Amino acid sequence: MSVKRIERIGKFSCDIVCPPDKSITHRAVMYNAVAKGEAHITRPLLGEDCLSTIDCMRKLGAQIEIKEDGVHVRGVPKLSDADLYAGNSGTTMRLMCGLLSPYRGTWRLTGDESLSRRPMRRVIDPLTRMGAEIVSCDGKAPLTVTGKALHGIDYVMPVDSAQVKSAVISAALGAEGVTRITEREFTRDHTEIILAAMGADISREGKTVTVRGGRTLEAVSVTVAGDISGAAFPLVCGLITDGEVTVRHVGLNPTRAGLLEVFEQIGVHYTVEERRQCCGEEVGTVTVKGLGQAKPYTITHEMIPRLVDEIPVLAVLACFLDGDSVITGAEELRVKESDRIAATLRMLRAFGGEVRETESGMIIHGKGQLSGGCAFDPAGDHRMAMSAAVAAAASEKGGTVTDSDCVAVSYPDFWQMLSGGTK
């Protein structure tokens, strides 16, 4: 098992390019692989999760080449029967369930031990209502999908999940009639953006997405925006060590920008410059300059979909604010790569933080510092490993992260980035 020792950093400062967005890379590969024509994906994230999607689409018959300047995809009109291994990627497995359901064929989807514990009934139920045939192991992987003729449905989502929404949209592309998906809260809309560019009949009115089946997707080349979830780690590290951090090409999609809402709420000084459009996604350059007189925050259920992946590192940030920060409505963290509520509590306590678990989140009592000096096992969860590394970098005694290689899932250059900050 790989181990990283992180010494205390006096001031973490850097000027870096944001890592590519995992969600957008998944979708650019997946939908182009079933589209008519060829596409080039520039700045893809080639972490383990996205490589799982590439491997699955190749097994289905798509021609995908990984080159120095990106990924080249040639779509395939008919999908081959195959056994598909999604690794640790919930996005791969859930979206594939929807994508495969209207095609003729049979596919078996498996994943690693962690993915095999994650709930799949949330996608199986709406897809079954559309006519899909999906056999599971008590609502979990392995899954067997047998293609059927599907019909549109009106679906009100019981959970705020972009993966569930995207699975239903993917099935609706090949279904007869109209499918309407209504969300409780807005979730990330990368699926809607890329499919509209590819010629799908998809629209939104308020919190309802409408898809009319039957359109052939046309391949579209994509330059992947930066992952604001990945940018959160250097930005928070800069804040809590009183450094100056600039991250370029950050994705600023409003359905993902909850991190900046928290920055505004606590009153830190940050700037967003060089705003521009990148393949339908807004991007820009974000700079932070220390915490200053920042105050505690409150994250509510309504905000969670816009920053669900940033919660662990924002919990670290809360330890450096004076007073109680409150996170509520975060039940979805229980079913990520790990139980991230439990893992975040364990991490903060290991580093000397004061935190109390609540029914749907936590209350963190910030004291302006962490003692550190501990070792933390993220249990294979990439975001927990990176959050612990940020905590260690700002702690009085530093810290150690075991199973450190798991960061390659979403941020392959994370350790290089962290070690490159000015001491």
Which residues are part of the catalytic machinery?
309
Rounded CA gap, 49 and 26, in Å? 8
Instruction: Give the count of beta carbons closer than 10 Å to the beta carbon of residue 273.
Output: 10
Query: Residue 187 carries which side chain, given as an amino acid letter?
Result: T
Is residue 20 reached through a cis peptide bond, with omega within 30 degrees of 0 on the bond before it? no
Q: Under 8 Å CB-to-CB from 37, ≥6 apart: which residues?
A: 74, 75, 218, 219
In the β-sheet with 208-212, what is the strand arrangement from edge to edge? 154-156, 178-182, 208-212, 201-205
8 Å CB contact between 384 and 378: yes
**Structure-block tokens of residue 51:** 């490589």
Judging by DSSP bridges, how do beta strands 82-85 and 106-110 pair with one another? Answer: parallel
**Structure-block tokens of residue 274:** 């060089």
Rounded CA gap, 406 and 410, in Å? 9
**Structure-block tokens of residue 80:** 């081959």
